[in-house]
Structures are given as structure tokens and as C-alpha cells.
Copies of this chain bind each other. A is one copy, B any other.
Amino acid sequence: MQDKTYKLIELVGVSATSMEDAIQNAIGRANQTLKNLDWFELVEARGLIQDGKVGQYQVKLKVGFRLMG
């Protein structure tokens, strides 16, 4: 079983600025506790409205990383 195996976790990142920033925030947070982060898949995008404007982007994403040894 020398073949690699990967795990995916599902996160929701938020940002007041953009969907890209929300993705970055979730990945940055995951990087604090997980190594080998490899790829992400965007699952869903939504957000909050405040005073008639987008107040917060919320992106649901899956983050894949290699399971070690």
C-alpha cells in the first residue's frame, strides 16, 4: 500500500471583501493545524447583506491534503 491517500475536509471561509479572500482565509486557517494542503474545490458561495450591501462572503470549500505514512 505505497499508494498515496488524500483526505478532504469541508470548511466555510468568510470575508467582507471577495470570494477569493474568503477562500484564502479558510485555507490559511486550515494551514495552522494541517500539513500538506494540496488543493481545494469550491462547493457553494453565499453571504450576508447589511445595509443593502454584501456584508460578508461565505464560501464553502473542500480542502484536500495527503495523509502521511
Alpha-carbon gap, A18 to B18, bound state (A): 10
Q: At the interface, is chain A mostly helix, strand, loop or mixed? A: strand
From B1, B29, B41, B49, A63 is in contact (CB under 8 Å) with: B49
What residues of B have a CB within 8 angstroms of the CB of A27 in the complex?
49, 52-54
Number of interface residues of A (CB under 8 A): 51
What residues of B have a CB within 8 angstroms of the CB of A44 in the complex?
41-42
Say whether A14 contacts B5, CB under 8 Å: yes
What residues of B have a CB within 8 angstroms of the CB of A7 in the complex?
9-12
Point out residues on A near B: beta carbons under 8 Å.
1, 3-16, 18-20, 22-32, 37-42, 44-49, 52-54, 57, 60, 62-64, 67, 69
